[in-house]
């Protein structure tokens, strides 16, 4: 990767590549910037202007409003608990299973792989799933939100394949040193799998953070709801056409302000967005194999 070797063609490619990626980044992030700008704007401005980056007279009223009760802050705490606990459960369940199934000589492996793949495609659906959780006595606990999704078959299969591609020599030598399979997983495989841990930790964490449906199904107590339930509800309510409101009592219900909706989106998205840059150092190139082999 030495730039001195670049030909003119490669330099032109580089130029275009930077330009393209820069523009792409701008296009993808602009709508979100509008949401941020909108969260600081007034209702009048949001009705009048279709798209803007700088609000005319910025105000933090929307944020004051959403933090004036403990609903949003409490739900953020709930979300953080569910996300952290859930991700740890996910990683533990997924990595142990993936590691076992990555060993091709394991007896019964094929049956279990078929079991996993079958369950990806055929599922009992919402009601039977709910009844299982209820029979286990998990309703209204965070375990009901976390355990039914403890393993994503999709992620497990990909992780298993990553494990299969690790050089077999490493494990052999560890086993000669007297490690059990558990020791190999803990001391050799996991340290080698940091990018994988980071990637799937991120996938799972984002999944938990964005999930509202299991919370709605399993948590009856509204004080246990995570942020996404609140966010989703605000977005859906402000989306409700006036006509659909003929079901509502005219005197009481008003859809939430647009700026409040946008502020909730910002509050609901920023924390999880910030996780990524912190994980990025684990995606740095060649951090692992080279160092261990060398």
Partner 1 sequence: MNTALRSESDASIRKAIPRRRRWLSKLKKDKWLYILLMPGLLYFLVFKYLPMWGVLIAFQNYQPFLGFWNSEWVGFEHFQNFFANPDFFRLLRNTLILAVYDLVFFFPAPIILALLLNEVRLAFFKRVVQTMVYVPHFVSMVIVASMTYVFLTTSGGVIHELVSAITGKSINFLADTSWFRPLIILQMMWKDSGWGTIIFLAALASVDMEQYEAAVVDGANRFQRLIYITIPAISSTIIILLILRLGSFLDNGFEQIFLMTNSLNRSVADVFDTYVYFVGITQGAFSYSTAIGLFKSVVGILLIYGSNRLAKRFGREGIF
Partner 2 sequence: MKRDQSRLRKSLALLVMSSVLLLSACSGGNGNTEGSKESAPPQSAQPSDSGQTPEEEPYKISIMMQSFDTNLPGADSPVIKQLEEYTNTDLDIQFVPNSSYPDKVNITLASGQLPTIMVVDKSPSFISAARAGAFWEVGPYLKDYPNLSMANDIVLNNSSIDGKNYGVYRGRVLGRMGLTLNQVWMDNLGLQPPKTIDEFYNILKAFKEKDPDQDGKDDTYGIVVTKYAGPWDIMQVWFGAPNGWGDDGSGNLVPTHMTPEYREALKFFRKLYEEGLVNEDFAVMDSAVWNDPFVNGEAGAFVDVADNARRLNASMQEKEPRDESYTSVYQAPVGPKGHRDMPTTGYAGMLAISKSAVKTEEELKKVLAFIDKLGDVEMQLLLGYGVEGTHYDMVDGYIVPKENLEPAVLQQYNGLNQMLPFIGPVAPTLEQTPINNMIAEVQAANEKIVVANPAQPLVSEVYAQKGQQLDNIIADARIQYIVGQIDDAGLDAAIKLWRETGGDDYIEEINKLYKESQQ
Instruction: Classify 110 in phi/psi space as left (phi over 0), alpha (psi -120 to 50) or beta.
Output: alpha
Residue given tokens 């647009």 in the structure block: 258
CA dist., res. 261 & res. 236, Å (int): 10
Of these partners, partner 1, partner 2, none, which one is at the site of residue 134 (CB under 5 to 8 Å by kind)?
A: partner 2
Mark the segment that binds partner 2 (CB under 8 A) among 29-37, 87-95, 269-277, 283-291.
87-95
Q: Which residues of 222-234 are buried (b: 16+ CB within 10 A; e: fewer)?
A: eebbbbbbbbbeb
CB of 120 to partner 2, least distance (A): 20
Is 59 or 239 the residue whose CB approaches partner 1 more closely? 239
Mark the segment that binds partner 1 (CB under 8 A) among 76-84, 218-226, 229-237, 241-249.
229-237
Which residues, 38 to 77, sit near partner 1 by CB under 8 A?
Answer: 50-51
Of these partners, partner 1, partner 2, none, which one is at the site of residue 237 (CB under 5 to 8 Å by kind)?
A: partner 2
Residue given tokens 């509204």 in the structure block: 222
CB atoms within 10 A of CB 55: 18
- Measured between its terminal Cα atoms, the distance across the chain in Å is 19
Q: Is 56 exposed, middle or buried (0-12, 13-18, 19+ CB in 10 A)?
A: exposed
Residue from 64, 73, 180, 220 binding partner 1 (CB under 8 A): 180
Per rule CB under 8 A, is residue 237 in the interface with partner 2? Answer: yes
Mark the segment that binds partner 2 (CB under 8 A) among 122-130, 151-159, 272-280, 281-289.
122-130
CA angle 113, 117, 118 (to 5 degrees): 115
Mark the segment that binds partner 2 (CB under 8 A) among 54-62, 153-161, 218-226, 278-286.
218-226
Residue from 32, 61, 71, 170 binding partner 2 (CB under 8 A): 71
CA dist., res. 125 & res. 25, Å (int): 38
Chain residues that interact with partner 2, rule: CB under 8 A: 43-44, 47-48, 65, 68-71, 85-86, 88-89, 92-93, 96, 126-127, 130-131, 134-147, 182, 186, 213, 216-217, 220-223, 229-230, 232-234, 236-254
């Amino acid at each position: 990767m030495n730039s001195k070797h670049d030909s003119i063609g490669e330099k032109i490619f580089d130029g275009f590549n930077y330009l393209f990626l820069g523009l792409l980044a701008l296009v993808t992030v602009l709508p979100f910037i509008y949401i941020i700008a909108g969260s600081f704007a007034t209702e009048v401005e949001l009705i009048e202007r279709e798209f803007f980056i700088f609000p005319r007279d910025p105000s933090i009223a929307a944020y004051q409003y959403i933090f004036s009760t403990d609903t949003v802050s409490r739900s953020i705490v709930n979300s953080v608990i569910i996300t952290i606990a859930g991700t740890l459960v996910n990683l533990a369940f997924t990595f142990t299973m993936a590691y076992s199934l990555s060993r091709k000589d394991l007896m019964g492996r094929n049956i279990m792989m078929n079991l996993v793949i079958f369950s990806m495609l055929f599922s009992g659906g919402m009601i039977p799933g709910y009844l299982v959780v209820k029979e286990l006595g998990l309703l209204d606990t965070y375990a009901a939100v976390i355990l039914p999704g403890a393993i994503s078959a999709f992620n497990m299969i990909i992780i298993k394949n990553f494990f299969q591609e690790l050089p077999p020599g490493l494990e052999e030598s560890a086993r000669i040193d007297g490690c059990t399979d558990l020791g190999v997983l803990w001391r050799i495989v996991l340290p080698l799998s940091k990018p994988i841990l980071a990637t799937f930790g991120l996938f799972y964490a984002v999944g938990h953070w964005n999930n509202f449906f299991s919370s709605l199904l399993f948590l009856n107590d509204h004080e246990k709801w995570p942020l996404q339930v609140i966010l989703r509800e605000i977005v859906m309510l402000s989306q409700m056409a006036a006509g659909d409101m003929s079901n509502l009592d005219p005197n009481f219900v008003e859809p939430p302000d647009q700026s409040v909706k946008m502020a909730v989106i910002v509050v609901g998205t920023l924390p999880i967005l910030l996780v990524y840059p912190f994980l990025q150092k684990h995606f740095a190139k060649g951090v692992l194999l080279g160092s261990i082999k060398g």
